[in-house]
Amino acid sequence: MSGFTRLERIPVRILPDHEAISHEVAERIATLIRTRAAEGRQAVLGLATGSTPVGIYRELIRRHRDEDLDFSNVVTFNLDEYFPMGPESIHSYHRFMRENLFDHVNVPPDQVHVPRGDLDREATEAHCESYEAAIREAGGIDFQILGIGRSGHVGFNEPGSGRESRTRLVYLDTVTRADAASDFFGEENVPPEAVTMGVATILEAREIALIATGEHKSAVVKRAVEGEVHADVAATYLQEHPSATVYLDPAAAAELTRVRTPWILGEVSWTPEREPEAVLWLSQRTGKPILQLSTKDYRDNHLSSLVARHGSAGPLNGEVFNRLISKIRGKSKLPSRERIVVFSPHPDDDVISMGGALRKLVENGNHITVGYQTSGNIAVFGHEVRRYLDFVERARPLMELAEHAALSRRVEAVEAHLAGAHPGDVDADDVLDLKRIIRETEAVSALESVGLGSENARFLDLPFYQTGKVRKDPITERDVARCLDFLDETKPTIVFAAGDFSDPHGTHRMCLEAVTRALDAYRGPAPQLWLYRGAWQEWPLAEADVLVPMSAEELRKKILAIFKHQSQKDVAPFPGPDPREFWQRVEERNRGTAELLRSVGLPAYYAMEAFVVLEDGERLATALVPTASLGEGF
């Protein structure tokens, strides 16, 4: 496999999913802790925050609980902390580490080190120096966990960070602040600075694991792994480390050359799945429709072995063209009179990602039930609640509703809570319930716009989401049981679920885990599983199994259904790395898919939704796994 890795300047392991990464890295850490304990020495860990390492920490907690993994000989140093930031703030990395690791294992408190963000500016400089001294006194870091930001930062070493930089106070890059906006309920609430370990400090760790998951990290991962070492992308400095490894899930690895275009690197094993990828790539590279590609085009672009399998370009072009055109299914070719369940992670993902297909499925006489897996209540601003409370007060005389002292007190209490709340604060239960109801009424209104009603909606309110905070609990049997009960009630022949993992907080990934575990436990006939995307990414043409065309009018109606989610309109609380409204993203992606089809010589449609279809669990565990061998490195 050396030919597939020669562009990678650092060892890379591609594992099936976030859980597999967490298990492998946690195993390495557990081995280190036990080895150091046997030697009578401390294990010094460099720790990171954010959603990426949470799975590792949960696995370490499990090993502590179930396998007696002893943390008493562990010393920890965290990478960074926002500035200014009090340690008890809901956004503090001190608090994050307590909630996600330290409160659940027996690491001594005096052996825990997290940079402070609550000192004044002058004292912070001295604190940074003492932090470096503490690392040296501990004997240096044995194992350092890193994530990577879209700007290529590790820790908060933003573009321009030098190779010799040490722990210091830094200004956060615009991209970093935009990505953190979801945690802080608005970019304006993100602290402008942070205290971070420097590049030199990180590189002195004896072993480093950089972890990245999700499609939104794929571009910067490629730059960090395959690009030249440069201060603009601090992660590239890891190429100089003798014992650094990059751990990726398939989505984060998607842009690596050995995954995206392995034929550039050497001979590949051609499969029915890989051939369309290569032909589509060649069509776009040459600017020619598929049916006009010549044998010379293939030979001039590293694809001689592919065209040789078919004798000449003509048969290959025709085969791929026919396979692609067979994926296009208008209304008449979509399921009819089936029992269909749509799992929607949030109360708007159904219409955002498959609003066009949903309308056609309704028109085809299918019995459709939409299961909204989470309430989405934390994504509702306080002003939305106040607007509805004001409506109730103003409607009271018109509806001849009597004054009710208890109701008035409840309204006053909610208004007082909202008036005193700060961005990111956990809401009172009453407020969370009101926000949940707002999302539910919007979801029903959107369903009505595609021809369904409230009787077609089920609000599953999965327990993992009910933290009141951005960060959620892990999926448990309680979540799976609710999904399974829903399947038992509806007995579907077809199930739709979200297959996009670029949700910045992982809710979509967790919801799919709940669905797949429920399907594994379901005792009825195995339904066909259709995976949709659209909120952040769309299925590539080569990967999609079904392409559902939409006219301009059908796309307009889909967008109007998205508009029913008024609380998410204009300024969504959790937009992710793309600041545009969801309807704008949808319009671009659906039209972009159709335009790509047209550009490679297929019929010209106005817009298109894409789906991957899995039969009876087929490809379920590896639906997003790249063709390159899992775990390959060098």
Residues carrying an active site annotation: 158
Task: Using the structure block, give the residue that is written with the tokens 């009630």.
Answer: 489
Q: How far apart are CA 521 and CA 364, in angstroms?
A: 30
Structure-block tokens of residue 351: 């219409």
Distance of CA 362 to the CA centre of its chain: 30
Structure-block tokens of residue 109: 């408190």
Q: How far apart are CA 565 and CA 578, in angstroms?
A: 18
Tell me the backbone φ, ψ of residue 108, rounded to 5 degrees: -65, 135
Structure-block tokens of residue 554: 């059908």
DSSP assigned state of 237: G
Task: Using the structure block, give the residue that is written with the tokens 């949030």.
Answer: 346
Question: Do β-strands 546-550 and 607-614 pair in parallel, antiparallel, or remain unpaired?
Answer: antiparallel
DSSP assigned state of 173: P
Q: How far apart are CA 123 and CA 169, in angstroms?
A: 11
Question: Do β-strands 528-532 and 494-498 pair in parallel, antiparallel, or remain unpaired?
Answer: parallel
* 3-class DSSP assignment, residue 286: helix
Measured between alpha carbons, how far apart are the two ends of the chain, in Å? 8
CA torsion, ordered 160, 163, 169, 172, to nearest 10 deg = 30
Neighbours of 471 (CB within 10 A): 15
Q: What's the number of CA atoms in the CB half-sphere (13 Å) around residue 343?
A: 36
Q: How far apart are CA 624 and CA 253, in angstroms?
A: 10
Structure-block tokens of residue 537: 């990414």
Closest CA to 70 of 35, 38, 32, 106: 106
Q: Give the 3-state DSSP-derived string for 447-514, with helices as H, strands as E and coil as C.
A: HHHCCCCHHHEEECCCHHHCCCCCCCCCCCHHHHHHHHHHHHHHCCCEEEEECCCCCCCCHHHHHHHH
Q: How far apart are CA 529 and CA 526, in angstroms?
A: 9
DSSP assigned state of 243: T
Let me know how long the chain is. 634
Q: How far apart are CA 117 and CA 130, in angstroms?
A: 14
Closest CA to 25 of 34, 15, 37, 10: 15
CA torsion, ordered 542, 544, 545, 547, to nearest 10 deg = -110
Helix (H) / strand (E) containing 59: helix 54-67
Structure-block tokens of residue 238: 């890891």
Closest CA to 467 of 54, 62, 189: 54
Q: How far apart are CA 497 and CA 517, in angstroms?
A: 13
